[in-house]
Amino acid sequence: MAGFWGKRKRVEHELDAHDADLAKRAGTALVAADERIRVTADELVFAEAELGSDSTKGLSEALAAVRTHLGEAFRLNQLNHDHIPDTREELRTRNARIVQLCDWAEDVLDEHTSALADRIARARRAPEIIAGVRADAERLRSRVPHARDTVERLAARYAREALAQVQANPAEAEQLLGFAEHSAGVAERRREAGQREQANLALEASTESVRRAATLLDAVETFEVEALRAESTLGAILEDSRGDLAVALKEPHSVGVANAIAGLRAALAGLPPVGVNTDPFAQLGRLREANAGLDAAIAAARERAARPIPPLEHVHHAIDDADRQLAVARDVIAGHRGWIGADARTRLAESERIRIDLDHFLGGTAATVTVIDEDHREQAMAMARRVAYLAGEALHLARRDIDASRPQDPGQWGGPGWGGGERRGGGSDVMGGILGGLVIGSILDGIFD
């Protein structure tokens, strides 16, 4: 008993310590949340001054929601300190709820204030950003003439289709730079007029325009380098393609290899003569596709050569054998329905299902199909053999069931030695049963032999 009471006191002491810690956490969290609301309200005022009310609408709504829910936390805290005595469970539940509400309020306010922090910092650096936009626009405008010269130089070497992606880049970049300078001026004027939200929108538009103009100008220089690399790669692929054609002609003949060779030859013949403006990217893509098709066709032909293809007559023989086995099993099982178990019938059903699948696989009745593609022969033979195997299993199980259904007691027919003892039943019935059993046994013996 002393041990029991000692353990109980120890548990009560732990609960008291836990409740005291929870009450302390609830009070601390409530004070911190109240202070956070006050600080966030001040930040909201400054954010509205910097960004405008529309940009800070999310934070304003979040602050209102936090104030509403913290009202519940303050009411619970007031209940903990009123004159009405509370149970330990009630105090514990209220304090846990207070801590939960305060943690939620902190998370919500953190999420919205962090989202506005970058925008506020950017708005406060607006004069510096505007100056940077103008400097970047002036620097990029000096690259426009060089980009135009590059496009003209490329037009003398490459086809119009190849230059379609960069031909208009210099003009578009110059237009974007003009828009960026105009937007920077709008942002500066709106900021001086106190229209912070409109100023920030104009500032974002100007910085984005500068970024896009830089991307367009960089694309012109990148295109020239990539075009030179494509021409160099094209020459190497031309040599490889001619060597691949020579190798492919020595590979085992197949329709796939012949078509791939014709496709690669057509791609090589489609290359423009020397002195004609070309599109190296398109030519490189066509040659790579043709080479990949030839490699795949050669790999398939080698795999087929390594795996012997069954002759057509062997496939037909397997199908005929499967049909014979299936017919015998079907006749035996149908003629002895009361004697055949579920295993034999299941094997027969599986065999019939695969036989139907074989017809679908060959696109017609398998027994009358005269032409079977080389790619389908191996699969067709495997399916036919599976049909024959399952039909043989069904026949074997059916024979076992029929043998098990025969009378096993010799005395049932008249005692030891046929004709001795008293017969149980008419002579014609006995003779008919014996002859029937002998006939069935001889039929099945002949089938399995």
The DSSP string of 283-315 is: HHHHHHHHHHHHHHHHHHHHHHHHSPPPPHHHH
- Between CA 357 and CA 367, with CA 362 as vertex, the angle to 5 degrees is 90
Cβ pair 151, 167 in contact under 8 A: yes
Predicted pLDDT at 8: 56
Q: What is the number of alpha carbons within 13 Å of residue 24 lying toward its C-beta?
A: 6
Bin 274: left if φ > 0, else alpha if -120 < ψ < 50, else beta. Answer: beta
Closest CA to 403 of 345, 362, 342, 444: 444
Long-range contacts, stretch 81-89, CB < 8 angstroms, 24+ apart? 88/15, 88/19
Return the pLDDT at 127. 78
Tokens for 38, please give them: 């006050």
Looking at residue 128, what is its pLDDT?
Answer: 81
Question: pLDDT digit of tens for each residue in the chain (449 aa)?
Answer: 445 445 555 555 566 667 677 788 888 888 888 888 888 887 777 776 666 666 677 778 888 888 888 888 888 888 877 777 778 788 888 888 888 888 898 888 888 777 676 666 666 677 788 888 899 999 999 999 999 999 988 888 888 888 888 889 999 999 999 999 999 888 888 877 767 777 778 888 898 999 999 999 999 989 988 888 888 888 788 888 888 788 787 776 777 788 888 888 888 877 777 667 778 888 888 888 888 888 888 887 777 776 777 888 888 888 999 999 999 999 988 888 788 889 999 999 999 999 999 888 888 887 787 788 777 888 888 999 999 999 999 999 999 988 888 766 554 444 443 333 333 333 334 334 433 443 444 444 444 44
The ranges assigned to domains in the chain are 14-124, 231-306, 312-448
pLDDT at residue 428, rounded to an integer: 36
For tokens 């006939």, the residue is 439
Judge contact between 121 and 43, C-beta under 8 A. no
**Would you tell me how many other CB atoms lie within 10 Å of the CB of residue 151?**
19
State the DSSP H helix or E strand holding residue 260, giving kind and residue range, or none if neither: helix 255-269
Can you give the pLDDT at residue 417?
39
Roughly what angle, to the nearest 10 degrees, separates helices 196-248 and 169-192?
160
Mapped onto helix, strand or coil, the DSSP state of residue 158 is strand
In this structure, the dihedral spanned by the alpha carbons of residues 403, 406, 407 and 410, taken in order and rounded to 10 degrees, is: -60
383 and 361 Cβ atoms separated by less than 8 Å? yes
Q: What is the spatial distance between Cα 246 and Cα 244, in angstroms, rounded to a whole number? A: 5
DSSP category for residue 309: P
How far is Cα of residue 245 from the mean position of the Cα atoms in its chain?
38
